[in-house]
Amino acid sequence: MRPRLLLSLAAIVAIGVLTVYIVATSLPTQNPAPPPSERPSPSTGTQPGLPAARTYPDFVVDPKIVKAPTSSSAQSKLWFAQDTWWGVLFAPKTNRLDIFRLDSKTQVWADTGTLVDERLAARSDVLWDGTHLYIVSGGSKPSPSHAILLRRFSFDATAKHYVLDPGFPVSIKPTGGSPAVITKDTSDVVWAAFTADGKVWVSHSLDSDEQWSPPTALTAAEAAVDPTDVAAITAFGPGKVGLVWTNLLRSAAYASVHEDGAPADAWSAPETVVGGTGGGIDHQLSVGALPLSDGGDTNLATTVTTLLDQGDAVHQLDPLTMLAIRDASGSWATTLVGLVRDHHTRPVLLVDPEARDVFIAATSPGNGGTVYYKRASLDAIQFDTGKGTPLLTSTVDQQLDDITSTKGPLSAASGFVALGVDRTSGRYSHAFIDLGGGAPAADPADPARPKAPTPIPPKTTISLLRDDFEALPVGRDDAGWYVRPEDPQGRLSVINDGSGGHALRIPSSAAGVRACRGIPRLDGAKVTVTIRVRVSAIGASDAVVLSARGSGGEAGSVRFTSHSLLAWYGGAAKFRSTVPIRARAWYRIVATFDSATKTYTLRVWNAANRPIAARAGLRWRTRAVPAVDAVCIDTAGAPPAQVIDIGGVSVQVPVS
């Protein structure tokens, strides 16, 4: 009896080991059931053969003011271009989101002064397409102050920084949502995805990057989501765009595919990426396109995080993080990345097509600690067990979290750069891994290495707005400007200005029309507005051809009076000049509004480019206005009918 019993026990053990091996190396496709809790005990050391990462501590932002600046895992905040790594980071003194450049030798970030977003709640996603830099940013609340905005930048090779393109920002959604993600398809259409109001939304560019469709919600039942769910989007194929989202209500993640050039609403029926895990799916995604071995084609892939680490019955060897990959038929298969006992969270996906490697980086433990990474071959995707190899680590900043990197491919030339932040101290830190192009000479432990960012170069000018309307078709009624709710809606339009260019036309009404363009509010700054305007007729009341406004009223304005004279406000007093004004003639106005001193200056040129007026030291009309956040135009409120044309407007702030 005893030998037979031992033989039976040995057989059971052998079957169990074989079962555990199969489950651990490749999870079931489609709707994986909860796997058994008995798995090989994972290692916790460095994955053999992986290059060591260097952690470079950077500068500190106040964590009570700037919260989670490198979140979310669905977004990318770095890119590699011009043989340089770039990123969108919050500046330590201003708490504004700027474009930074990473010095390859010193590994010190430099603030270029290019403003991305002034809002503390803004979370950004970056896309570099080789010509333009697209950055979408917004907050999470259903408030206009959290609106999702798109900006496009071009690289100035002489100044070696990015410059805001005319016509931006563009409003994608007037209020906030989940962290928005962008991509660009082969027909040059830019797509954005996010969740809001319990739905999954997509929006896309139209005839130009300056024109966007209203957001459209997916109508499938699988796209009815929890308020905390997220969506991500990426191009793959070629010729396809993949949309992936989590659904906490269904304990699943889903995907839908759009063929380039198809009608905008022609999204495929939802595909189940992963579901039926029993413990649910967390609202964490990082999507990408994995190159196939037969050339330029790619597969859609996404990281997925389960909720099997929560609840009363937690099994340490259950799957926590996985990589899900779609095949050509729309079926999904999952590969294990980490177990519950590894405590991974917020994983991000990166690809090195040259070396045919795929990387996953994630924080452990979930409340911040060390960021680890794993690598697998694209030809046989299988990740080693354990937490992985340290990517971001520190003996001082021990709650490193929210790793972010690039959408673009890694290479030997770029190396692997990733950025994170410490939850407690607010310190940014970045990691560098040599992928064959050479490691930086800078020593992270060198006490002489600066941690503070290199300041903005002197005489740098920050561009807040550049509108010239040239990219918009004639007749377009949405140029980023808005009118008051009580004013006639849909009346603004782009016109030919008569000299081969475009202008924005603002029509009058019985009570006048106020059209405004919002700008970032920068407290304490000197904001210079340059505008080119003309009026069709002299009205029976003032036409306000430039009004700088903020919360609480008007800071200052320039007016054309009913007597065909130039006028302006200094404090509460209106000053009428003796300078004559003609209808149907272009005028250029430059006014600088100083929110620190609550004064402004103005200069006016006529159509012949001759200066006709200049004033300095004018007091703000409403001193309670904290800062300028809008540029406005008001047509006359009395007959005869009047229109005002705007030939262009720019808003700039000098760096002191």
Return d(Cα 459, Cα 445) in angstroms, integer. Answer: 33
Write out pLDDT tens, residues 20-38: 333 344 443 444 433 433 3
Q: What is the pLDDT of residue 199?
A: 98
The verdict on domain 52-117+124-170+178-433 having CATH code 2.120.10.10 is yes
DSSP 541: S
Q: How confident is the model at residue 477 (pLDDT cuts 50, 70, 90)?
A: confident
Whether the per-residue pLDDT at 300 is higher than 60: the answer is yes
Give a three-class secondary structure readout of 447-459.
Answer: CCCCCCCECCCCC
Q: CA 5, 6, 9, 15 torsion: positive or negative? A: negative
Return d(Cα 399, Cα 384) in angstroms, integer. Answer: 24
Residue type (1 letter), 326: R
Q: What is the pLDDT of residue 459?
A: 85
Write out pLDDT tens, residues 114-138: 999 999 999 999 999 999 999 999 9
Q: Say if residues 497 and 604 touch (Cβ distance below 8 Å).
A: no
42 vs 615, residue with greater confidence? 615
Q: What is the pLDDT of residue 49?
A: 72
Whether the per-residue pLDDT at 265 is higher than 70: the answer is yes
Measured over all CA atoms, what is the biggest interatomic distance in the chain, rounded to whole angstroms? Answer: 118
Return d(Cα 289, Cα 536) in angstroms, integer. Answer: 54
Extract the tokens encoding 358: 């795929």
Return d(Cα 474, Cα 126) in angstroms, integer. Answer: 30
**Secondary element (H or E) of residue 601:** strand 599-605
Q: Which residues are paired to 94 by β-bridges?
A: none
The overall average pLDDT reported for the chain is: 91
The verdict on domain 461-654 having CATH code 3.30.360.10 is no
Write out pLDDT tens, residues 44-59: 445 557 888 999 999 9
Write out pLDDT tens, residues 388-416: 999 999 999 999 999 999 999 999 999 99
Write out pLDDT tens, residues 179-218: 999 999 999 999 999 999 999 999 999 999 999 999 999 9
Q: Which of 190-199, 311-320, 573-582 has the lowest mean pLDDT?
A: 311-320
Q: Please name the residue that has the structure tokens 């969270």.
A: 345
Return d(Cα 87, Cα 81) in angstroms, integer. Answer: 11
Residue 49 CB neighbours (<10 A): 8
Return d(Cα 542, Cα 565) in angstroms, integer. Answer: 10
Got the DSSP string for 326-366? E-TTS-EEEEEEEEGGGT-EEEEEEEETTTTEEEEEEEEST
Extract the tokens encoding 527: 């904001």
Give the start-to-end residue ranges of the domains of the chain.
Answer: 52-117+124-170+178-433, 461-654
CA-based nearest residue to 436, from 527, 360, 361, 357: 357
Return d(Cα 491, Cα 498) in angstroms, integer. Answer: 20
pTM of the full structure: 0.89
Extract the tokens encoding 616: 């300095």
Q: What is the pLDDT of residue 512?
A: 87
Strands (E), 451-552: 461-467, 482-483, 493-496, 502-507, 514-518, 526-535, 543-550
Q: What is the pLDDT of residue 51?
A: 86
Return d(Cα 560, Cα 82) in angstroms, integer. Answer: 48
Please state the rounded mean pLDDT for residues 475-488: 86
Q: What is the pLDDT of residue 369?
A: 95
User: What percent of the chain has a predicted confidence (pLDDT) above 70?
Assistant: 92
Extract the tokens encoding 160: 């070696």
Q: How far does the chain reach from its first CA to its final CA, in angstroms?
A: 91
Residue 505's alpha-carbon distances to 232, 491, 532, in angstroms, are 37, 8, 12
Determine the 3-state secondary structure of 307 from DSSP.
coil
Write out pLDDT tens, residues 583-639: 999 999 999 999 999 999 999 999 999 999 999 999 999 999 999 999 999 999 877
Extract the tokens encoding 118: 């002034």
Whether the per-residue pLDDT at 308 is higher than 70: the answer is yes
Q: How confident is the model at residue 11 (pLDDT cuts 50, 70, 90)?
A: very low
Cα torsion through 50, 55, 56, 61, rounded to 10: 130
Choose the most confident range, by mean pLDDT, from 238-252, 264-278, 495-509.
238-252
Helices and strands (DSSP H and E) totals, the chain: 1, 44
CA-based nearest residue to 223, from 197, 258, 184, 261: 197
Q: Which residues are paired to 298 by β-bridges?
A: 291
Residue 229's alpha-carbon distances to 245, 334, 380, 633, in angstroms, are 7, 20, 31, 41
Extract the tokens encoding 439: 């490691």
> Rounded to 5 degrees, what angle do the CA atoms 95, 97, 103 make?
105
Write out pLDDT tens, residues 318-375: 999 999 999 989 999 999 999 999 999 999 999 999 999 999 999 999 889 999 999 9
Q: What is the pLDDT of residue 379?
A: 93
DSSP 369: B
CA-based nearest residue to 136, from 62, 203, 84: 203
Return d(Cα 66, Cα 424) in angstroms, integer. Answer: 12
Q: What is the pLDDT of residue 255?
A: 98
Return d(Cα 86, Cα 94) in angstroms, integer. Answer: 19
Whether the per-residue pLDDT at 70 is higher than 70: the answer is yes
Q: How confident is the model at residue 278 (pLDDT cuts 50, 70, 90)?
A: low
Whether the per-residue pLDDT at 223 is higher than 80: the answer is yes
